[in-house]
Amino acid sequence: VLREEANVWWRNVKLRIGVEAVVILWEVFKREFLRKYFPADVKNKKVIEFMELKQGNLLVAEYSAKFEALCVFSPYYNTVEAEEDKCVKFESGLRLDIKQLIGFSEIQDFPTLMTKARICDEDGKAKSSYYKALNDRKGKGQDRGKPYDNIGNGSGRK
pLDDT (tens, 9 = 90+) of the chain, 158 residues, equals: 678 887 888 778 777 777 665 667 778 888 888 888 888 899 999 999 999 999 999 999 999 999 999 999 998 998 889 999 999 999 999 999 998 888 767 888 999 999 999 999 998 888 877 788 888 877 665 555 555 655 666 555 55
Say what the pLDDT of residue 2 is: 72
**E runs forming strands in the chain:** none
Residue 7 covered by a domain: no
Say what the pLDDT of residue 146 is: 59
Give this prediction's pTM: 0.65
What domain range is 87 assigned to?
Answer: 54-141
CA-based nearest residue to 24, from 40, 13, 12: 13
Residue 28 covered by a domain: no
Say what the pLDDT of residue 142 is: 58
Q: Say how many C-beta atoms besides its own lie within 10 A of residue 51's C-beta.
A: 12
Q: Give CA–CA dist 80/52, Å, rounded.
A: 22
Residue 119 covered by a domain: yes
Residue 30 covered by a domain: no
Residue 92 covered by a domain: yes
Q: Which H or E run includes 126?
A: helix 110-140
Q: Say how many C-beta atoms besides its own lie within 10 A of residue 139's C-beta.
A: 9
Residue 82 covered by a domain: yes
Say what the pLDDT of residue 117 is: 93
Count structural domains, the chain: 1
Residue 89 covered by a domain: yes
CB contact at 8 A, 63 and 93: yes
Alpha helices in the chain (DSSP H): 2-17, 26-37, 40-51, 60-71, 83-92, 96-102, 110-140
Residue 29 covered by a domain: no
155 three-class SS: coil
